[in-house]
Chains A and B, each alone.
Chain A
Amino acid sequence: MGDGQRWREETKEEGKRDGGTARKVEFRTLVSSTWNHSSRELDSNPFREESAPKRSSVSSRIRFQHLRLSALQVMSVQNEDDTQLSSHFYGGLLDSIIVDVASECHRTAKLGLDHNLEEEEEEMRLSAQARARVADPSNSGETNNKYVVDIFGQTHPSVASEIFECMNCGRSISAGRFAPHLEKCMGKGRKARLKVTRSTTSAQNHYSRGSPVSTHSSFSNSTSTNRLSNGTPGVAGEEYSNGTYEGP
């Protein structure tokens, strides 16, 4: 009993030093009352001394003590409490893990990293179909027919047929003939060269983007002959037939 009293005195002082939190003092009185109820062998000095090693601070000793005592409380009750307590902690752990899983799933879905949601499935199916078509041995290589079959099953004609306006001369040009047209139109070919030489006096600066013409003359003539022999459709063909291109 004496011990318990001394205990209480000490703790009250400690409480004052700490700024007197009511909670600490109350708890310690609870501890001391439990102390009084416990068995004789525990209510002894040596027990208390050994539990408080070289530490000078009273509060840590007290904390250790109250942990022991509350553990005694645990043990003094039967096993059912124990099971309940451990179930409680197990439930806490499981809840944390469940929240983690839910959060992870939510993040994956929101960031679009999950490839199993509907739209992606459709795309996957299409690409699987395309792959099957490529792997299919009945489709031979590119040289089979005039039209090449690509992995989506689309075919393109070998010459593009869309028609649009040339930004230099304003003519309607077929897309497949646009590059050669630009060569002529912008100063590489003979006709363009004629344009340039006619107005060299004042307009030389304007035609500075045209390539130096003399070195390219033979080249352009030979290529033009080749192109004519292809018999390409469209307006571009007519243009050349109008011009006076002849072999060297």
Chain B
Amino acid sequence: MKHSVNRPPTPDAAEDQGKEPTLQEIINIKLIESGEKERLMELLRERLIDCGWKDEMKAICRAYIKKKGRNNVTVDDLVHLITPKGRASVPDNVKADLLQRIRTFLMSAAL
């Protein structure tokens, strides 16, 4: 059966111990633990629905599925299809707002 999701292999626990946590990892942990990551994700989701971005992406997906036939499409195909277009078509104000919030969080986490 066709695998519809490409997963990278699970990292081995023994390998990890040689590495130090990078700055990114630390901040990521802080984001998750404080619940801020979840909040930011929900905010971004809501903004993208409101501005019609989600509908645009769904329309692109549907057109692709119609062309290929619905039994020949994997989730991976759709992800690769939408990612470049999706990243480019986020409205500037939404992107700026999110970046601002993340930066604020970084500052507050640092202090």
User: A residues near B, CB below 8 A?
Assistant: 21-23, 26-27, 30, 66-68, 70-75, 82-83, 85-91, 93-106, 109-110, 112, 114, 116-118
Chain B 24-41 interface 0/1 with A at a Cβ cutoff of 8 Å (1 = within): 101110110000010011
Looking at A66, A67, A89, A104, the one whose CB has the most chain B CB atoms below 10 A away is A89
Q: How far is the CB of A16 from chain B (nearest CB, A)?
A: 15
17 chain-A/chain-B pairs, Cβ below 8 angstroms? A23-B19, A26-B20, A67-B26, A73-B23, A74-B23, A74-B106, A82-B106, A86-B102, A94-B44, A96-B41, A103-B78, A105-B57, A105-B62, A106-B61, A109-B61, A109-B62, A117-B65
Are A114's CB and B62's CB within 8 A?
yes
Partner of B31, one of A89, A96, A100: A89
Q: Within 8 Å CB of A27, what residues of B?
A: 20-21
Separation of A105 and B59 alpha carbons in the complex (Å): 9
Q: A94-B86, A94-B87 are in contact. Are A99 and B61 (CB under 8 A)?
A: no
**Chain B residues bordering chain A, tally (CB within 8 A):** 49
Closest chain A residue to B65, Cβ basis: A109
Main SS class of interface, B: helix
Q: How far is the CB of B85 from chain A (nearest CB, A)?
A: 10
Q: A23-B18, A89-B31, A109-B70 are in contact. Are A101 and B82 (CB under 8 A)?
A: yes
Closest chain A residue to B36, Cβ basis: A89
Partner of B27, one of A26, A85, A117: A85
Are B17's CB and A22's CB within 8 A?
yes
Partner of B54, one of A87, A101, A109: A101
Separation of A23 and B83 alpha carbons in the complex (Å): 36
Q: A22-B17, A106-B73 are in contact. Are A101 and B58 (CB under 8 A)?
A: yes
Partner of A88, one of B24, B90, B111: B24
- Quick check: is B99 within 8 A (CB to CB) of the other chain? yes
Separation of A30 and B23 alpha carbons in the complex (Å): 13
Separation of A102 and B31 alpha carbons in the complex (Å): 25
